[in-house]
Structure 1
Amino acid sequence: MRALLPLWLLLCALPPVQAAGLDPHYYPHRPGTRWTYTSGETQLVGAPVTHRGVGVVPVSHQYGGTTFSQDLLEYRADGSVWLRGVNAAGRLSWYAPPLLVYPAGPLRTGQTWQSASGGLSMTVRVTGTAPLKLPAGNFNTLILRSETVTGGNTSVQLSYFVPALGIVRYETADGSRIDLRR
């Protein structure tokens, strides 16, 4: 079984954004939304809940119907998405400050954002666009290059994002690919 993908890259769930001029569907958000990948992982958006006084939307990472971890995402009125915490192995890790997963959309080539919490820091850059033909269909994607530093170790991953759909491909530095199946 492949390792679970870190949620700050999955970034897939958003509750509706009410602020004027913002597209409430730019980042997928509906409870019950699911993505199934070629790795066998399914990501499932849950109903909004409150943790530590913060409204969050849980995104579960499952294999064979069993949840292995759950990301708690906060969706702010400006359209930005923040990782507030992760539930894994019965333990809640809470980020203070939270990690910026996505700035308010729309994303554009050349855009960069950074975030840090505790011993974790990440930098994400929209490097361009690419057409992809995948098991789930044909897509025009934005390419996000994420560099994460944890405990002195750096990892790089490319994510291929489709507005209103989410991440359709993950690609690691060694060239391994995980594609959206459905």
Structure 2
Amino acid sequence: MKLSIEAIKQKTGDGYDFELEEDLGRVEFKGEDLVFVKPVKVSGRVENLGKGLFGVRGEISATIEGRCYRCLSKTQLEVRLDYSFKFSEKPEKFEDEDEVFIIEEDTLDLTTPVINEIILNLPSKILCSPDCRGLCPYCGADLNLGDCGCGKVNIDPRLRALEKLLKSDDHGE
């Protein structure tokens, strides 16, 4: 995902609109592989901001496949977000700016900033749906497909004596 600044580097305020599309494959996030199912689309405008600083802003759209946090099934997540990046040949000159990426050979490489922006905007837990019921804690069945019917109820071993009292009380009356 590269943009040339050769045509706009001489005059402050110059810029151009662009649209890029690239297959980014897979990225590791929180120990899980996130797979970009479709090519990531990046559109926007690159401008010469002056003093060797270039700005890129626009929109990113991507479709990511990951595992649902609750039921572990594969699920796809549509990501659409706005972004703003800054680039310079000497990023250390712009310490007061947020993050400034480096320009190499009159080219802005958007790949790393785009991946970072997508990851920063992912939800902390990917879900297949907001009402996902997850897995049964006893038998591991996917509760989205229906009740498992295992009916297991683990009783805290410290309360077993109370269970005996309740059973004897039911028979005694």
More strand by share: 1
- Larger Rg: 1 or 2? 2
Same fold by TM (over 0.5)?
A: no
User: TM-score when scaled to structure 2?
Assistant: 0.28
User: TM-score when scaled to structure 1?
Assistant: 0.27
